[in-house]
A and B are shown apart, each in its own frame.
Chain A
Amino acid sequence: MTKRLFKAVFATAVLGFSAPVAVSAAECIAPANPGGGWDFTCRQIGKIMFDIGAVDQPVQVTNMSGAGGGLAYSHIVNERNDDNDVIIAASSATTTRLAQNAYAGATADQVRFVGAIGADPGVIVVAADSDYHTLGDLVSAIQADPGSVAFAGGSAVGGFDHLKPLMVLQRAGFDDIRSVRYIGVDGGADAITQTVGGFTQAMTGDMSEVVGFLNAGEIRVLAVLTEERVPGFDDIPTAREQGFDVVAVNWRGLYVPRGISDEDFNGWADKLQQVADSDDWAESMAANGLAPFTMVGDQFQSYVDNLVVEINTLSREIGVIQ
């Protein structure tokens, strides 16, 4: 045992990294298992912050999965409310769940939202050989026979991916939400696989999830749910220009504990702004299909406040929550 231990220590010495000794290194909590969007946010932002010198120690990423982010949320609210060395990855999923009261009574005002630096535009996608060529085609098919189209998406029923087509249908004046078929699978890529395989007729998700398949010619993007067309994907029409006024982007950002000082809050906002301005981040956004969407500090906080109200109203309207 001791021999192996020695070898292990030796191996690390060979690897040449020094152990992160200082306890003051910032920590980024990804409220999910490694591999998802939040994990990506933490690792990428943490890496860039260190690379550009915004922090002097590598940011330590902790995965704290549970309750779709709820465990990390209550951990921060209850146990680390004044810890100024911790940042937590957040996205539209965080606000959606807060708005739908899915964090067991926790509310959005129990933390401070620092900012978002990039957004993943919502998309509605069909297989390349599908008969549906515009969003209008798809909507009228559903209006004629709701059973003819099944959607696949990466979020659970009632989640953000599910809300996207429902919002579109609602704008088109279609009320019978219950008859719309949706299956929640394990992530966007899985949803595309099901759609290309012909098991579902359409896929709802984020731009980043479909880029590879789009380039390979496996799928057709019917609409992107942004205000303007996304740079680099200029031939994909928005839902809005096809007559369905729906904007749904999955922003990637951070929140911090409520109890930290304004000074610390602004410090994090500033660091995040530095990441947003860096070339590394621009490169990373391009590679991952993210659209620029930078909003930090108090401005972002009020954006989030409005968003929570909006999603809550919407969820009630379409019956996802009572």
Chain B
Amino acid sequence: MDIFANLALGFSVALSPYTLMLAVAGCFLGTIIGALPGLGPSNGVAILIPITFTLGLDATQALVLMTAVYYGAMYGGRISSILLNIPGDEPALMTTLDGYPMAKAGRAGDALVLSGVASFVGALLATIGLMLLAPMLARVAYLFGPAEYFALYLLAFCTLGGMASNNQAKAALASCIGLGIAMIGVDNNSGLPRMTGGHLHLMDGIDFLVAIVGLFAIAEVFFFIESHGKGSSIGVKLEKVRIPWRDIRETTPTMIRASGVGFVAGILPGAGASLGSFLAYMTEKSIAGPKGGFGTGVARGIAAPEAGNNSAAGGALVPMLTLGVPGSGTTAVLLALLMTLNITPGPTLFTDRPEVVWGLIASLLIANVVLLLMNVPMVKIFVRILSVPAWILLPGVTMVSFVGIYSLSGSYFDLLLMIGFGALGYVLRKLDIPTVPVILGILLGGNMENALRRAMVLSDGDATFLFSSPIAIGLWIAAVVGFIAPMFLRSVLTKPQAVTD
């Protein structure tokens, strides 16, 4: 088989003691970067790019280091999601829904181990998918035009109603807040600013990282000041950390399905890891039905988003390598790195530079194994965070958030916005209005509008263009079902669980 010969080539490039050491160091740094709120995989990788130059790494070594950081950050994001209800980065958002309740129930260790295993499965399957199918999968991007993308985003928003709290109006309001915020900035279709009030800082819109850190981390601090830590996960008596074999066994089908969903979402440029974990979570939730207890701290609710986002991260490499189209912020940074190393991704990369591609694939596999081996034993260290007193931990989280956001643009404006989001998050959560839809609105709102408007430019305003392909029709059907089904389920289900807490 060709693949094995290629893989052997890849490992021969990637398996030297020095590169292995880089992989370990990269995984470690990545995990820390991912776990710190405000520092996600994309700025983590960006921050570390200069290091590859200072160290004088060659192309493969630089790639090994960066992919290790990338995957590490994807693993790390879940840690603060689970322990503190603060997503370390945006793909880890969905992990708060079941991870944090589980931690509050004293099972933080189980949640961390399980999510680590799920991350491993997702990333592993995605890497295998990348290996076997990448050149072929690249064609998928050619099938998605504006109409198809619009239907895809519509699907995401339609299923939001199904996830949200007791009150569907509140979920709708929350997503409108996000969508409304997403409209701020220069309108790509007319080149003119909208809703900026003439403010230069708002021209590029509001960074979702600012919103996520504000709504989660800063709001959390306000809650602590109010409650002095009662009813939170900090200080909860922990069970002894051991590997929850039963949960892992029971969630195996979930992990595999979620990996599939995440991988497909990752391949589509513009969808990315956040949509991957969201769709994976929603798919599993609807398969489980109301009896699944999603949102209360169930194992499947942790396995699904984690397998989903890590496999989306792998999937996002497909369009990046084969088309040069970055599917997410992080792959955009990796793309920049490749170009600085004089490697131009594109349809010919697999044939022109096999040593780079297969070295990369081999390093993904290595990073993944290293991360699993590193993460499971380290769970014992991670859970100890919860025994740090709140009066040290919370100011620490706040300061980390400030620096993380400050590093985005170096302006106090984003910091003020972040504080504003903190206050908003406090009020929203008090009123049992879910904050997850706000983030999704900000993340996807602009893309959704652009897709619609591009479709209308192409069809000259003819709305039937939106249903002009089998893919688009299929997505529309899924969206309509996703919107209507919860309404019927609601009558079956007496009282759905609140997701926010």
- Whether a CB of chain A sits under 8 angstroms from the CB of B335 is yes
Q: How many residues of B contact A (CB 8 A)?
A: 71
Q: For B54, what are the chain A residues with a Cβ–Cβ distance below 8 Å?
A: 17, 58
Contact between chains at A182 and B191 (CB < 8 Å):
no
Contact between chains at A11 and B28 (CB < 8 Å):
yes
Contact between chains at A66 and B409 (CB < 8 Å):
yes
Q: How far is the CA of A223 from the CA of B144 in the complex (A)?
A: 27
Contact bitstring B143-155, A, C-beta under 8 A = 1, else 0? 1111000000000
Q: How far is the CA of A182 from the CA of B189 in the complex (A)?
A: 9
Q: How far is the CB of B443 from chain A (nearest CB, A)?
A: 14
Contact between chains at B335 and A71 (CB < 8 Å):
no
Q: How far is the CA of A9 from the CA of B189 in the complex (A)?
A: 46
* Contact of A212 with B349 at beta-carbon distance under 8 Å, contacts A7-B28, A34-B333, A157-B190 already known: yes
Contact between chains at B191 and A102 (CB < 8 Å):
yes
Contact between chains at A36 and B458 (CB < 8 Å):
no
Q: For A156, what are the chain B residues with a Cβ–Cβ distance below 8 Å?
A: 186-191
- Whether a CB of chain B sits under 8 angstroms from the CB of A40 is yes
- Whether a CB of chain B sits under 8 angstroms from the CB of A173 is no
Q: For B460, what are the chain A residues with a Cβ–Cβ distance below 8 Å?
A: 147, 181
- Whether a CB of chain A sits under 8 angstroms from the CB of B484 is no
Closest to A67 in B: B203
Q: How far is the CB of B207 from chain A (nearest CB, A)?
A: 9
Q: How far is the CA of A84 from the CA of B326 in the complex (A)?
A: 35
Contact bitstring B399-420, A, C-beta under 8 A = 1, else 0? 0000000001111000000000
- Whether a CB of chain B sits under 8 angstroms from the CB of A35 is yes
Chain A: number of interface residues, binned into ranges: 35 or more
- Whether a CB of chain B sits under 8 angstroms from the CB of A50 is yes
Q: How far is the CB of B125 from chain A (nearest CB, A)?
A: 25
Q: How far is the CA of A176 from the CA of B335 in the complex (A)?
A: 38
Binds B, one of A136-144, A186-194, A245-253: A186-194
Interface residues of A in 1-54 (CB under 8 A from B): 1, 3-4, 7-8, 11-12, 14-17, 33-36, 39-40, 43-44, 47, 50
| B21, B51, B339, B381 — most chain A CB neighbours (10 Å) | B339
Q: How far is the CA of A308 from the CA of B36 in the complex (A)?
A: 44
Interface residues of B in 352-367 (CB under 8 A from A): 352
Contact between chains at A216 and B348 (CB < 8 Å):
yes
Closest to B454 in A: A183
Contact between chains at B342 and A287 (CB < 8 Å):
yes
Contact between chains at A66 and B200 (CB < 8 Å):
yes
Q: How far is the CA of A40 from the CA of B335 in the complex (A)?
A: 10
Binds B, one of A195-203, A225-233, A299-307: A195-203
Contact between chains at A104 and B200 (CB < 8 Å):
yes
The residue that A216 contacts in the complex, of B53, B187, B319, B346, with Cβ under 8 A, is B346
- Whether a CB of chain A sits under 8 angstroms from the CB of B289 is no
Contact between chains at B325 and A287 (CB < 8 Å):
no
Contact between chains at B344 and A196 (CB < 8 Å):
no
* Contact of A196 with B385 at beta-carbon distance under 8 Å, contacts A11-B25, A66-B201, A68-B203 already known: no
- Whether a CB of chain B sits under 8 angstroms from the CB of A267 is no
The residue that B50 contacts in the complex, of A4, A60, A150, A190, with Cβ under 8 A, is A60
Contact between chains at B340 and A47 (CB < 8 Å):
yes
* Contact of A211 with B336 at beta-carbon distance under 8 Å, contacts A11-B28, A159-B191, A199-B145 already known: no
Q: How far is the CA of A192 from the CA of B19 in the complex (A)?
A: 35
- Whether a CB of chain B sits under 8 angstroms from the CB of A81 is no
Contact bitstring A67-96, B, C-beta under 8 A = 1, else 0? 110110011000000000000000000000
Contact between chains at A212 and B29 (CB < 8 Å):
no
- Whether a CB of chain B sits under 8 angstroms from the CB of A213 is yes
Q: How far is the CA of A114 from the CA of B142 in the complex (A)?
A: 41
Contact between chains at A199 and B458 (CB < 8 Å):
yes
- Whether a CB of chain A sits under 8 angstroms from the CB of B347 is yes
Interface residues of A in 130-169 (CB under 8 A from B): 147, 150, 156-159
- Whether a CB of chain B sits under 8 angstroms from the CB of A278 is no
Q: For B346, what are the chain A residues with a Cβ–Cβ distance below 8 Å?
A: 189, 211-213, 215-216
Contact bitstring B92-122, A, C-beta under 8 A = 1, else 0? 0000000000000000000000000000000
Q: For A157, what are the chain B residues with a Cβ–Cβ distance below 8 Å?
A: 188-191
Q: How far is the CA of A186 from the CA of B144 in the complex (A)?
A: 14
Contact between chains at A67 and B348 (CB < 8 Å):
no
Q: For B143, what are the chain A residues with a Cβ–Cβ distance below 8 Å?
A: 197
Closest to A193 in B: B141
Q: How far is the CA of A198 from the CA of B324 in the complex (A)?
A: 18
Contact between chains at B325 and A1 (CB < 8 Å):
no
Contact between chains at B49 and A34 (CB < 8 Å):
yes
Contact between chains at A193 and B347 (CB < 8 Å):
no
- Whether a CB of chain B sits under 8 angstroms from the CB of A274 is no
- Whether a CB of chain A sits under 8 angstroms from the CB of B496 is no
- Whether a CB of chain A sits under 8 angstroms from the CB of B253 is no
- Whether a CB of chain A sits under 8 angstroms from the CB of B42 is yes
Q: For B29, what are the chain A residues with a Cβ–Cβ distance below 8 Å?
A: 8, 11-12
Q: How far is the CB of B349 from chain A (nearest CB, A)?
A: 7
- Whether a CB of chain B sits under 8 angstroms from the CB of A64 is yes
Contact between chains at A158 and B457 (CB < 8 Å):
no
- Whether a CB of chain B sits under 8 angstroms from the CB of A288 is yes
Q: For B392, what are the chain A residues with a Cβ–Cβ distance below 8 Å?
A: 1
Q: For A172, what are the chain B residues with a Cβ–Cβ distance below 8 Å?
A: none
- Whether a CB of chain B sits under 8 angstroms from the CB of A62 is yes
* Contact of A283 with B342 at beta-carbon distance under 8 Å, contacts A67-B203, A183-B458 already known: yes
- Whether a CB of chain B sits under 8 angstroms from the CB of A218 is yes
Closest to A192 in B: B323
Q: How far is the CB of A28 from chain B (nearest CB, A)?
A: 11
Q: How far is the CB of B265 from chain A (nearest CB, A)?
A: 17
Contact between chains at A65 and B409 (CB < 8 Å):
yes
Q: How far is the CA of A209 from the CA of B211 in the complex (A)?
A: 32
Contact between chains at B348 and A212 (CB < 8 Å):
yes
Contact between chains at A34 and B186 (CB < 8 Å):
no
Closest to A147 in B: B460
Contact bitstring B1-41, A, C-beta under 8 A = 1, else 0? 00000000000000000000110010011001000000000
Contact between chains at A35 and B344 (CB < 8 Å):
no
Contact between chains at A35 and B332 (CB < 8 Å):
yes
| B189, B204, B352 — most chain A CB neighbours (10 Å) | B204
- Whether a CB of chain A sits under 8 angstroms from the CB of B244 is no
Contacts beyond the supplied A16-B55, A35-B329, A189-B323: 16 A-B pairs with Cβ under 8 Å:
A3-B381, A8-B29, A15-B25, A34-B42, A34-B43, A34-B49, A34-B336, A35-B332, A47-B53, A102-B191, A183-B189, A192-B323, A194-B146, A199-B146, A200-B458, A208-B344
Closest 7 CB pairs of A and B: A212-B346, A35-B332, A67-B203, A216-B347, A199-B145, A197-B142, A158-B191
What are 28 A-B pairs at a CB distance below 8 A?
A1-B396, A8-B28, A8-B29, A12-B29, A35-B329, A35-B336, A36-B336, A43-B49, A65-B204, A66-B203, A67-B201, A147-B460, A157-B189, A158-B191, A183-B146, A183-B458, A184-B188, A185-B450, A193-B142, A193-B269, A193-B319, A194-B146, A197-B142, A208-B344, A212-B345, A283-B342, A288-B344, A289-B344
Chain B positions within 8 Å of A, measured between CB atoms, are 21-22, 25, 28-29, 32, 42-43, 45-46, 49-51, 53-55, 141-146, 186-191, 198, 200-201, 203-204, 269-270, 319, 323-326, 329, 332-333, 335-336, 339-340, 342-349, 352, 381, 385, 388, 392-393, 396, 408-411, 450, 454, 457-458, 460
Chain A positions within 8 Å of B, measured between CB atoms, are 1, 3-4, 7-8, 11-12, 14-17, 33-36, 39-40, 43-44, 47, 50, 58, 60-68, 70-71, 74-75, 102, 104, 147, 150, 156-159, 181-187, 189-190, 192-194, 196-200, 208-209, 211-213, 215-216, 218, 283-284, 287-289, 320
